[in-house]
Amino acid sequence: MENGHAKYRVAVIGSGNWGSVASRIIASNTAKLPSFYDEVRMWVFEELLPTGKKLSESINKANENCKYLPGIKLGANVIADPDLESAVKDANMLVFVTPHQFVEGICKKLVGKLRPGAEAISLIKGMEVKMEGPCMISKLIADTLGINCCVLMGANIANEASICCVVQIFLQSSEAKKISCCTFPMQIAVEKFSEATIGYRKDKEVATRWAKLFTTPYFLVSIAEDIEGVELCGTLKNIVAIAAGLVDGLDMGNNTKAAIMRIGLREMRAFSKLLFPSVRDNTFFESCGVADLITTCLGGRNRRVAEAFARNGGKRSFDDLEADMLQGQKLQGVSTAREVYEVLTYRGWQELFPMLSTVHEICIGQLPPTSIVEYSEHTPNLSIIGGPTPFY
């Protein structure tokens, strides 16, 4: 409290590509908005760089993340902290931006360590599948820590240029001529116009405060009272992006890719509404929906690695390609496809969602990459969730 007004301190939990960009955006706003303390603590999962230096020390000395966001200054008020408890101890606004498979472990370490009244927002795309059913990451955070958690999703590939790679090295020499370097623009990191959507459950005031923290002239943030819809859009689009990458790797052309994206969006909507009937159709027309799907299918890491997978005829595993191509970053689409497949299998929905099912079966080597279009011979009837029939 300062001069009778509440003041907020922000901590970012995660320091990968998107975590570093988020810290940069947030720090630029906390430095000039009187309702926030200037300093932004960014928790870093400590790594040793090839130089022998610790990643956190390198970030604090150079004011940039040389591994995950090279060449981009984060802001003098961003402090990298390898101690999780230290990073969050004074914060009352927590930004979660780690690979989704690590969230539960992180949250368990934070139980009882947070300030009273702390709020959270998740920038994480994925879900956990438990015995009782699927659990969205925002709910996992909220339930484990006993705090409110919003989500932020949208068409905002953080910085593809920082992990640019020559895909030829992963292919046989006879195939190398078919693909060139990945040279996607830095987008948000270099302040190119982008959008995002914040999903919230009931507290519009809190959602508006989060939007204020993230909004810049080049990064516009809207809010939507549909947390499940917003979060599922961000989660499921990574599976569709793998399908799009397979199409690219098989040289099937733009018409096929457009069809895959359309069918994928349909399955995203149907799956979301079956899980959560409260999900709103309008959400799929926000940045978190169709816009995020388009940008991820055109330029995301899931698409790129899936393309390499297809060009190798499925002979190199996604884990192998991830390790070679992403420099330590994680491929969310494969693990999400597995988790969604578990839900489909448990509920007997596999035939209703042929694309979502087929992507997982391709990822684990049960089907060849060419199966991504063969499933379309089977036309499911999804009239049970409303909308025009037939669904395809």
Which amino acids are annotated catalytic?
Answer: 237
Transcribe 85-136 into DSSP letters: HHHHTT-SEEEE-S-GGGHHHHHHHHTT-SPTT-EEEE----EEEETTEEEE
Residue 314, C-beta contacts closer than 8 angstroms, at least 6 positions apart: 362, 365, 368, 369
Q: Cβ(112)–Cβ(29) under 8 Å?
A: no
**Residue that is written with structure tokens 């948000």 in the block:** 188
Q: Cβ(183)–Cβ(161) under 8 Å?
A: yes
Helices and strands counted in the chain (H then E): 14, 10
Q: What does the alpha-carbon distance between residue 118 and residue 210 come to, in Å, rounded to a whole number?
A: 13
Q: What does the alpha-carbon distance between residue 281 and residue 33 come to, in Å, rounded to a whole number?
A: 35
Q: What does the alpha-carbon distance between residue 355 and residue 280 come to, in Å, rounded to a whole number?
A: 22
Locate 90 and state its tokens.
Answer: 């004074």
